[in-house]
Amino acid sequence: MLLGVNIDHIAVLREARKINDPNPLDALGICKLAGAEQITIHLREDRRHIHDNDAKNIIKLSTLPVNLECSINEKIIEIACKFKPSRVTLVPENREEVTTEGGLDLKSNFERIKNAVNKLHENEIEVSLFIDPTKDMIELSQQLQVEWVELHTGTFANVYAMLHGNLNNTHHSIKELELSREDLKKLLTKSRKEIKKASIFAKELNLKVAAGHGLNYQNVTMISRIKQISELNIGQSIIARSVFTGLKDAIIEMKNLIKD
């Protein structure tokens, strides 16, 4: 299973102080030495972390393939076509959200997404769609003729955190998931089954399957053991761990877990 390391949160630290350090560009060589197979970055419309020059330089200088996450905003798609990453993953984007909260609504935005996909393909960029793990979204992905789908694992990760972590005892507790342990166990099983079922269905339709969002050192093996998933994109947990262990060791530890 391949690992794409999302380095957005290095830029988050930089932007918190409005200075030039730490520079996400410095992570590229470390990621490669540690065994990562891909660099992932998200160029958001509000530029809250990665900026245009970051994306340009990372795509130009990275010796690993670069997966650029972005919205279907026409100006952002134009930037993606100009910089030419190895892959573009189209994601939903809400300016008020802390992080991406769900998969793309392919049904309501079909024509806009189709136009974005066509433009990216015209520029020889492969395309992935960040979607919820449902049959309908996978069928629409096939109709859009993309190469990849990335299954949103956020629901699974939230339930896992409320069941096995300490999230419910913090001010970040998820109110709608403040349930009994028995109910959380059922939800976790259901969520993983949905991801696995979606992965199998996507492979049957000849789509390559990635997964990501909220995956960390505690929950990742439950997803990495789904053999139809060939790639995980993980960012926040790796960068958070690197504060204490260093980036190289943080990536190596994650690689070892997904090989388990």
Show which residues are catalytic. 42, 69, 213
Helix %, strand %, coil % of the chain (to 5): 50, 15, 35
Q: How many CA atoms lie within 13 A of 232 on its CB side?
A: 31
**Under the phi-then-psi rule, with left for phi > 0, alpha for psi from -120 to 50, and beta for the rest, what region is 10?**
alpha
Alpha-carbon span 43 to 66, nearest angstrom: 12
The count of other CB atoms within 10 Å of the CB of residue 105 is 14
Let me know: does 7 contact 224? Beta carbons within 8 Å. no
